[in-house]
């Protein structure tokens, strides 16, 4: 069939503005700007401040309401109900009629199409990029939906789109999850398959159990060393909360893993040192830590793919942060930073003197002074590039 544009919401919005403009003598664009969504769903889908036009035209609100309602009914717009509430004219869209009209168009061979761009651009859309230590949640659903929709819209216009997922596999959180699996001595993916459990759910449970166990041990030590009663009370409250979380995790133990993790963490003198060791060796690409963390992250990503496939979301590329660290690119950037006159040592770590940069900028750049207004007494610390143990930060 010939090209046909069907946009029911915009059609009603535009036609309503035109009808009101005819009755009031206002500019249709101005009327369109005043049409909004009502504050309460039961009022309808579109709302117009009728009192504003009644005062300007000298026509009584009830009379103007009657005239516009008659015009709407005669126009054939997909509107099921019109009401007047508190000086606002509200309209409810006739959704069943809209759906039937759309179904009829589809039966006749109509399909959605967009005008193609004359000069396509290569565009990267990176989205979702959730930490691979627990399952995707509703917060990720928002970012995923926005990112995938943007990619589809751009692609429909003719642009060359590359969708990417940034894998944050470097850092303490992933190291904690890896530590948990090291304690268990199982492969995350194959073990989750044996359990009949989504692999990202298994990774999330092991991470939460390991993290909470370490927190409980640390809080117990702090409580033993606490002096005053107020400090002890605060720590005891936090410990009670962690122990309640651990009890919940134990109830959800998918096998016989909880006691093994908790007992190992409790018996270990310095869990933080073990986690730090995993982090350092992984950033150097050393085994067995490299295979350990990759196994954990791969399992989580497998679960992500399973979830994303349910809503039709796929990625062209998956970018590993570790590969940036292992490559020479990060080293070159760090070296360039070290050659800068703003390079300093801060708490035994390589850093950039951000306070000095801001001070010099505010002294020489009037535009910057207008835009950068720091609260009185607020200090910005230096930007740490590399920790004292040589591990990198998320800055990259």
Give pLDDT tens digits for 327-346.
Answer: 877 778 888 888 888 888 88
Mean local confidence (pLDDT), 350-361: 84
Of the residues 80, 98, 116, the one at which a domain ends: 98
Distance CA 268, CA 62 (A): 79
* Domain CATH number, residue 42: 3.30.1360.70
| Residue of higher predicted confidence among 387 and 62 | 62
Evaluate if residue 355 carries a pLDDT over 90: no
In the structure encoding, which two tokens stand for residue 323, read together?
A: 């590969």
Tell me, what's the pLDDT at 6? 64
Are residues 339 and 226 part of one domain? no
Domain count, the chain: 3
Are residues 184 and 266 part of one domain? yes
Tell me, what's the pLDDT at 386? 76
Distance CA 331, CA 60 (A): 74
Identify the CA nearest to 188 among candidates 173, 198, 175, 203.
203
What CA–CA distances, in Å, run from 226 to 243, 267, 269, 353, 388? 19, 21, 19, 36, 29
Give pLDDT tens digits for 190-237.
Answer: 999 999 999 999 999 999 999 999 999 999 999 998 878 889 999 999
Residue 255: CA atoms inside 13 Å, Cβ hemisphere, count? 17
Q: Give me the domain span that covers residue 336.
A: 330-386
Contacting residues for 205 by C-beta, under 8 A, at least 6 apart: 249, 252, 253, 254
Q: What is the pTM of this model?
A: 0.71
Distance CA 129, CA 318 (A): 9
Give pLDDT tens digits for 4-47.
Answer: 556 788 888 999 999 999 989 999 999 999 999 998 889 999 99
Distance CA 267, CA 288 (A): 23
Are residues 368 and 292 part of one domain? no
Instruction: Specify if 127 maps to a domain.
Output: no
Tell me, what's the pLDDT at 388? 67
Check the CA dihedral 167-168-174-178 and report its sign: positive
Are residues 336 and 316 part of one domain? no
Local confidence band at 389 (pLDDT 50, 70, 90 cut-offs): low
Q: Residue 290, Cβ neighbours under 10 Å: how many?
A: 16
Of the residues 81, 98, 115, the one at which a domain ends: 98
Evaluate if residue 160 carries a pLDDT over 70: yes
Evaluate if residue 2 carries a pLDDT over 50: no
Are residues 68 and 24 part of one domain? yes
- Least confident span in 75-89, 276-290, 308-322: 75-89
First-to-final CA distance of the chain:
52
Are residues 312 and 188 part of one domain? yes
Are residues 261 and 183 part of one domain? yes
Compute the mean pLDDT over every residue in the chain, rounded to the nearest whole number. 90
Tell me, what's the pLDDT at 96? 93
Does residue 22 contact residue 68 with C-beta atoms inside 8 Å? no
In the structure encoding, which two tokens stand for residue 8, read together?
A: 């029911």
Evaluate if residue 396 carries a pLDDT over 50: no
Instruction: Specify if 282 maps to a domain.
Output: yes
Residues linked to residue 73 through DSSP beta bridges, in sequence order: none
Does residue 339 contact residue 332 with C-beta atoms inside 8 Å? no
Instruction: Specify if 103 maps to a domain.
Output: no
């Amino acid at each position: 069939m010939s090209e046909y544009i069907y946009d029911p919401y915009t059609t009603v919005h535009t036609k309503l503005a035109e009808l009101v403009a005819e009755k009031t003598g206002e500019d249709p664009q101005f009327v369109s700007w005043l049409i909004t969504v009502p504050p309460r769903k039961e009022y309808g889908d579109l709302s117009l401040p009728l009192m504003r036009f009644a005062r300007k035209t000298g026509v009584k609100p009830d009379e103007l309401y009657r005239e516009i309602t008659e015009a709407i009914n005669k126009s054939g717009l997909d509107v099921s109900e019109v009401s007047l509430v508190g000086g606002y004219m509200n309209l409810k869209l006739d959704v069943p009629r809209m759906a039937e009209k759309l179904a009829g168009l589809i039966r006749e061979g109509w399909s959605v199409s967009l005008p193609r761009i004359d000069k396509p651009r290569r565009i990267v859309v990176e989205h979702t990029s959730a930490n691979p230590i627990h399952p995707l949640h509703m917060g990720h659903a928002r970012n995923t939906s926005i990112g995938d929709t943007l990619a589809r819209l751009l692609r429909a216009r003719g642009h060359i789109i590359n969708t990417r997922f940034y894998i944050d596999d470097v850092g303490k959180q992933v190291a904690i999850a890896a530590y948990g699996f090291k304690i268990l001595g199982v492969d995350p993916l194959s073990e989750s398959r044996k359990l009949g459990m989504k692999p990202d759910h298994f990774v999330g449970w092991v991470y939460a159990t390991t993290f909470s166990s370490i927190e409980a041990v640390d809080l117990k030590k702090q409580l033993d060393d606490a002096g005053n009663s107020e400090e002890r009370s605060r720590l005891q409250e936090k410990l009670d909360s962690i122990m309640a979380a651990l009890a919940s995790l134990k109830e959800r133990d998918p096998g016989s893993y909880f006691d093994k993790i908790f007992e190992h963490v409790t018996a270990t003198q310095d869990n933080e040192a073990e986690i730090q060791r995993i982090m350092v060796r992984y950033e150097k690409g050393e085994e067995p830590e490299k295979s350990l963390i990759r196994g954990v992250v791969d399992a989580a990503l497998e679960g992500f793919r399973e979830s994303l496939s349910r809503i039709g979301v796929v990625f062209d590329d998956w970018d590993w942060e570790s590969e940036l660290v292992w490559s020479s690119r990060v080293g070159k950037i760090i070296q360039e930073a070290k050659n800068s006159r703003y390079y300093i040592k801060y708490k035994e770590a390589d850093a950039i003197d951000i306070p000095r940069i801001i001070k010099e900028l505010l002294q020489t750049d009037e535009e910057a002074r207008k835009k950068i207004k720091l609260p009185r007494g607020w200090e910005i610390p230096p930007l740490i590039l590399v920790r004292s143990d040589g591990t990198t930060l998320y800055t990259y």
